[in-house]
A and B are shown apart, each in its own frame.
Chain A
Amino acid sequence: MGGELRYEIGQNAYIKLILHTLKHKTSAVNGVLLGRVSGGDTKPVVEITDSVPLFHSQIGLLPPLEIALVQIEEYYDQQGLNIVGYYHANERFDDFELGTVAKNIGDHIYRYIPQAAVLLLDNKKLEALPKGKDRSPVMQLYTRDVSRSWKLVGSDGSSQVTIKEPSANIVLVDYISSGKWQDIIDFDDHLDDISKYEHKLLFSLFFHHLITYFCE
């Protein structure tokens, strides 16, 4: 018998997606999670190592999503990573439900991997972030159970999502206060102007982190 499945998200993937939600505060946003399943049967873990911000408008439309998924599959396959999940942030502050569009896209992602994780932004937790010392991600985790519906994973079970780097929320709060969310480019931005794309940001996020690290 194997161990219970864990979900772990890397700092880079986590911060990028939160910043994405903050760049578009007045609309729903979504994106895809990349990574791999490892740990075998004894300590299975879904490692989320990267996130790709997708859209901040008309999320329920198929054509941009189809194009994005084809490109993402292609690009990350070359790096040995798979699509392992999906993230979503609702338009309204007090909306804590996983809506039908999110569920449908989740179902699509489920076809890539049955252990697919759907992360929904928890606005209240995000708001409380600068005041507290919470190390857990400001997201709710949903997984699909045998009844084929998306169920919220409670914080009492071991099958919840943790952040790999314990100080991630501190870095996140720092990035938020310095307005780093302005630099996020998502797939919508790329489709509007193909000269904009995401990889420059990856470099700049990482670089900033290095500087902070060496200057401490």
Chain B
Amino acid sequence: MVSKTDEAQVNRLENQVDNGGGGAWEYLCLVRKLKLRRSDKVLKHGLSILNDPKKRSSLGPDEWTLYEQVAIAAMDCQCLDVAKDCIKTLQKRFLESKRVGRLEAMLLEAKGSWAEAEKAYTSLLEDNPFDQVIHKRRAAMAKAQGNILGAIEWLNKYLEIFMADHDAWRELAEIYVSLQMYKQAAFCYEELILSQPTNPLYHLAYADVLYTLGGLENIQAAKKYYASTVDLTGGKNTRALLGICLCTSAMGQLTKGRNKEDKESPELQILAATALERDYKQRAPTKLSLLTSTLRSLKL
């Protein structure tokens, strides 16, 4: 989950490198820092540095980090020979390293040798029981084999120990959503909002889950979290603005025939609709009429 500015920066760099404008090392560092999954580009541009002895030596000690990054990217692209070569180079440099041992186990995973990978991870954990990456590999392996419930179990066990790992909470939430276990997904987003209350993306995801759960109370709560997302993003988040309109429409349906006093004031919806129309007029004018008719049909 990256911010718009970060994503724009990465894409700009990527374009630059793709078109021969240099900056490959900067790009690779940024991808690593933001933990993005762009394995085909990382493989291509990483190898171009590693295969050039001059470029490689200019990296100094960072050379080994690049070997690791390229090895993982290669595994993701199923270029297992490249991965093996990178790992071999690292093995020569760092004899008996646990970090390289981890890469070897990942290679077994990439080959689909699940049992052997499991054995490798277990033995690595004996010496280092608090290696977060290895714990998470187990959840990843379960997911890769289609054992989604197993992945959930591993992630829950992991989060009991490492409860500050936001990525893990998000992964768990997304797995729950894919299985339509929305209450459990909501719990994960609640944890995330508690620990990072100013991250609007968690408010937004939580609102989406609440709306999906349905029922008047949940939709009222969803509206509040769409509103807080709007607040935290300076009104620039299209999904949140649309969410407010959806909630108002849904609540209108659910409270039909009830006392007028129970009905919410329409101010928030009007503000959201106005903001959307203004934004579309400026940035997507050909789609404005479509937006207007969508908003009209929601008000019914």
Q: Which of A100-139 contact B (CB under 8 A)?
A: 100-101, 104
Which listed residue (B182, B243, B280, B290) contacts A75, Cβ 8 A? B290
Q: Tell whether, in the assembled complex, residue B146 and residue A67 are in contact, meaning their CB atoms are under 8 Å apart.
A: no
Q: Tell whether, in the assembled complex, residue A63 and residue B239 are in contact, meaning their CB atoms are under 8 Å apart.
A: yes
Query: Is A59 an interface residue, CB under 8 A from the partner?
Result: yes
Q: How far is B40's CA from A139's CA once the two chains are assembled, in angstroms?
A: 25
Taken residue by residue from 80 to 97, chain A's Cβ proximity to chain B (1 for < 8 Å, 0 otherwise) reads as 000000000001101100
Q: Tell whether, in the assembled complex, residue A61 and residue B212 are in contact, meaning their CB atoms are under 8 Å apart.
A: yes
Q: Tell whether, in the assembled complex, residue B239 and residue A191 are in contact, meaning their CB atoms are under 8 Å apart.
A: yes
Q: Tell whether, in the assembled complex, residue A66 and residue B144 are in contact, meaning their CB atoms are under 8 Å apart.
A: no
Q: How far is B219's CA from A63's CA once the two chains are assembled, in angstroms?
A: 11
CB distance from B184 to the nearest CB of A (A): 12
Taken residue by residue from 258 to 289, chain B's Cβ proximity to chain A (1 for < 8 Å, 0 otherwise) reads as 00000000000000000000011001101100
Interface-centre pick from A26, A61, A63 (highest chain B CB count, 10 A):
A63
Which residues of A are interface residues toward B (Cβ below 8 A)?
26, 28, 57-64, 66-67, 70-71, 74-75, 91-92, 94-95, 99-101, 104, 191-195, 197, 199
Taken residue by residue from 208 to 237, chain B's Cβ proximity to chain A (1 for < 8 Å, 0 otherwise) reads as 110110100000000000000000000000
Q: Tell whether, in the assembled complex, residue A194 and residue B279 are in contact, meaning their CB atoms are under 8 Å apart.
A: yes
B247: nearest residue on chain A (CB-CB)?
A: A63
Q: Which residues of A contact B280 (CB under 8 A)?
A: 194
Q: Tell whether, in the assembled complex, residue A64 and residue B239 are in contact, meaning their CB atoms are under 8 Å apart.
A: yes
Query: Is B5 an interface residue, CB under 8 A from the partner?
Result: no
Q: Tell whether, in the assembled complex, residue A58 and residue B294 are in contact, meaning their CB atoms are under 8 Å apart.
A: no
CB distance from A55 to the nearest CB of B (A): 12
B112: nearest residue on chain A (CB-CB)?
A: A94
* Contact status of A61 and B208, CB under 8 A, knowing A94-B146, A191-B238: yes
Q: Tell whether, in the assembled complex, residue A71 and residue B294 are in contact, meaning their CB atoms are under 8 Å apart.
A: yes
B293: nearest residue on chain A (CB-CB)?
A: A74
Q: How far is B212's CA from A59's CA once the two chains are assembled, in angstroms?
A: 11
CB distance from A102 to the nearest CB of B (A): 10
Query: Is B19 an interface residue, CB under 8 A from the partner?
Result: no
- Can you report 22 residue pairs joining A to B where beta carbons are below 8 Å apart? A58-B174, A62-B208, A62-B214, A63-B207, A63-B239, A63-B246, A64-B208, A64-B239, A67-B246, A70-B298, A71-B294, A74-B293, A91-B178, A92-B146, A100-B179, A191-B238, A191-B242, A192-B238, A193-B4, A194-B238, A195-B284, A197-B287
Taken residue by residue from 141 to 155, chain B's Cβ proximity to chain A (1 for < 8 Å, 0 otherwise) reads as 000101000000000
